[in-house]
């Protein structure tokens, strides 16, 4: 296959900021968060690449989650307009916790809930927002395909480890479980002036890499694919001030900073990495103040330094492959099934908290476990789609759900692709993909209740990593050449 094909690129972004009053889905535990302010605009950002007759499209959404029925609709519509297969369209969410989602992801429609729009948020979002955002995501993808022009590509990486932390800390007194360093400040729910007293050590690593692919035409930067790995939940943690504020968090600040620094012609896109166990919440400093603008600006500073050393090439390979692997669900312990049956028999419909802020947490978790039971009755395994795109020297790996960062690091190490950007939250939400070691400890991502966000059997991450590495090998094999 020729490797010096001219590369064409087009981009577009469409505003998807919700109306005030729209439910913000990042809390996800039966609590209602109607938006009260717009702190930052939300966007659907699309990039299309073409070379040698092959065309691909990436769409990044400033949302918490994208669900398969709706992402499939977007992918099919964009693919038809661009003359490609849906597998050549990758759609992912940045996972900002201060935004709605595209589709129900907490309690699916297979679980019956009585009531109208006032209780719809319990499913994770509101249908009216989903129907608002879907055509705008399609518009972004189609418009990007109309803006194609010859470009040069440049690649680089830097390091920034000051803002991200592994969010699973092993409990000193109970090493078979983890704690998550929580709220901060004197008004926090979990404020401990000397730090978390039972925190022994953090369970795993972070990925400090700042990845940059720059797209240039006629000497001017037209676009940036920006990669870092951290839950965008800094605004979400700013209680009570911005808890009900819509925001693109550090991802949006990074993009806006790069537009102001490189010029209005530049359209950046953030591809957030495998941050299932990575947050921006400092695990040791009890007086830490979350600041998404500070983090986004620091990422922009690193990007500036990378761009100053960037070298560009005008040709390369554009390719993609897709593969589906079957991942089994966790077994639900008999005692948990009995507990769920008791709770839901006593209250078939949601019992509300006394303050009206949401439903009883124990009921919500029971309903969540019941949804896993329903899924297992329909099929013993989940069909998990992995997408790998090659853009010159860069591999973009689309992984649904929230993989732990160790999976991303395993994909990167000794990869035949010189640069790798893992896009988590691609196509569909499946919950967390923890490491085998992490599944031996109870915690939010591996809870013993077997909730909807912790439903995959141990070994799922390792299966996905093995498949993704093989797919990268296939795209970057010697027969494909080197861009």
User: By CB neighbour count within 10 A (0-12 exposed, 13-18 middle, 19+ buried), where does 299 fall?
Assistant: buried
Mean of pLDDT values over 252-261: 98
The two tokens of residue 56 are: 């691909």
Q: How confident is the model at residue 182 (pLDDT cuts 50, 70, 90)?
A: low
Q: Evaluate if residue 476 carries a pLDDT over 90.
A: yes
How would residue 478 be classed by pLDDT, with cut points 50, 70 and 90? low
388, pLDDT greater than 60: yes
194-235 residue pLDDT tens = 788 889 999 999 999 999 999 999 999 999 999 999 999 999
Roughly what angle, to the nearest 10 degrees, separates helices 68-82 and 127-146?
A: 20
Provide the pLDDT confidence category of residue 356 given band limits of 50, 70 and 90.
low
Q: For 33-42, how does the pLDDT look when each residue is reduced to its tens digit (9 = 90+)?
A: 999 999 999 9
Label residue 320 by pLDDT band (50, 70, 90): very high
Q: What is the largest CA-CA distance in the chain?
A: 68
Q: Supply the mean pLDDT for the chain.
A: 93
Distances from the Cα of 260 to the Cα of 96, 256, 266, 298, angstroms: 22, 6, 9, 14
102: pLDDT confidence band, cut at 50, 70 and 90? very high
Percent of residues, the chain, with pLDDT higher than 70:
95
Grade residue 26 by pLDDT with cuts at 50, 70 and 90. Answer: confident
Average of per-residue pLDDT across 309-329: 96
- Residue 276: pLDDT over 80: yes
Alpha carbon of 281 to those of 164, 429, 446, 450, 457: distances in Å?
A: 7, 23, 19, 25, 28
Cis peptide before 240 (omega within 30 of 0): yes
pLDDT at residue 119, rounded to an integer: 87
pLDDT at residue 181 tops 80:
no
Residue 251 predicted with pLDDT over 60: yes
- Measured CA to CA in angstroms, residue 78 lies from 83, 135, 474 at distances of 8, 10, 26
Mean pLDDT (whole number) for 334-343: 97
pLDDT at 240: 73
Task: Write down the pTM of the prediction.
Answer: 0.95
Mean pLDDT, range 321-347, rounded to an integer: 97
> What percentage of the chain exceeds 90 in pLDDT?
82
Q: Is the pLDDT of residue 482 over 60?
A: no
The answer, yes or no, to whether residue 384 has pLDDT greater than 50, is: yes
What's the Cα-to-Cα distance from 96 to each of 111, 117, 125, 236, 249, rounded to whole Å?
Answer: 26, 23, 14, 8, 6
Phi then psi dihedrals of residue 439, to 5 deg: -70, -10
Confidence label for 445 from pLDDT (cuts 50, 70 and 90): very high
Res 22: pLDDT:
95
Q: How confident is the model at residue 483 (pLDDT cuts 50, 70, 90)?
A: very low
**Mean pLDDT throughout 254-260?**
98
Q: What confidence category does residue 480 fall into, taking pLDDT thresholds of 50, 70 and 90?
A: very low
- For residue 423, is pLDDT > 90? yes
> CB of 35 within 8 A of CB of 20?
yes
């Amino acid at each position: 296959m020729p490797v010096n094909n001219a590369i064409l690129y087009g981009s577009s972004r469409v505003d998807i900021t919700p109306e005030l009053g729209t439910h913000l889905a990042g809390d996800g535990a039966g609590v209602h968060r109607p938006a009260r302010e717009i702190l930052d605009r939300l966007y659907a950002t699309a990039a299309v690449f073409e070379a040698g007759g092959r065309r691909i499209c990436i769409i990044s959404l400033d949302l918490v989650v994208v669900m398969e029925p709706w992402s499939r609709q977007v992918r099919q519509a964009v693919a038809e307009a661009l003359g490609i297969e849906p597998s050549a369209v990758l759609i992912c969410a940045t996972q900002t916790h201060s935004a709605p989602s595209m589709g129900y992801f907490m309690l699916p429609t297979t679980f019956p809930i009585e009531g109208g729009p006032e209780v719809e948020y319990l499913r994770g979002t509101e249908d009216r927002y989903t129907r608002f955002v879907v055509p705008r995501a399609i518009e972004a993808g189609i418009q990007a395909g109309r803006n194609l022009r010859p470009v040069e590509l440049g690649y680089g990486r830097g390091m920034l480890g000051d803002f991200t932390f592994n969010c699973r800390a092993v409990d000193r007194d109970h090493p078979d479980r983890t704690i998550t360093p929580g709220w901060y400040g004197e008004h926090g729910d979990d404020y401990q002036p000397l730090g978390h007293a039972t925190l022994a050590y953090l369970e795993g690593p972070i990925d400090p890499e700042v990845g940059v692919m720059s797209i240039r035409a006629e000497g001017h930067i037209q676009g940036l694919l920006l990669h870092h790995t951290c839950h965008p939940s800094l605004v979400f943690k700013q209680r009570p001030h911005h808890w009900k504020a819509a925001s693109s968090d550090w991802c949006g600040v990074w993009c806006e900073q790069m537009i102001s620094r490189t010029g209005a012609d530049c359209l950046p896109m953030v591809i957030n990495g495998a941050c299932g166990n990575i947050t921006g919440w400092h695990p040791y400093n009890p007086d830490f103040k979350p600041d998404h603008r500070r983090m986004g600006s620091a990422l922009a500073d690193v990007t500036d330094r990378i761009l100053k050393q960037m070298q560009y090439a005008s040709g390369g390979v554009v390719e993609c492959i897709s593969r589906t692997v079957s991942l089994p669900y966790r077994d639900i312990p008999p005692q948990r099934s009995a507990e769920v049956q008791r709770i839901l028999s006593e209250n078939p419909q949601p019992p509300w908290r006394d303050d009206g802020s949401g439903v009883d947490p124990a009921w919500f978790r029971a309903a969540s476990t019941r949804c896993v039971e329903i899924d297992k009755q329909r099929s013993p395994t989940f069909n998990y789609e992995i997408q790998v795109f090659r853009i010159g020297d860069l591999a973009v790996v689309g992984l649904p759900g929230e993989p732990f960062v160790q999976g991303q690091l395993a994909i990167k190490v000794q990869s035949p692709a010189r640069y790798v950007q893992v896009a988590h939250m691609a196509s569909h939400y499946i919950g967390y993909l923890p490491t085998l070691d992490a599944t031996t400890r109870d915690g939010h991502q591996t809870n013993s209740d077997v909730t909807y966000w912790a439903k995959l059997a141990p070994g799922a991450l390792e299966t996905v990593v093995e498949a993704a590495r093989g797919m990268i090998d296939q795209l970057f094999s010697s027969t494909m050449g080197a861009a």
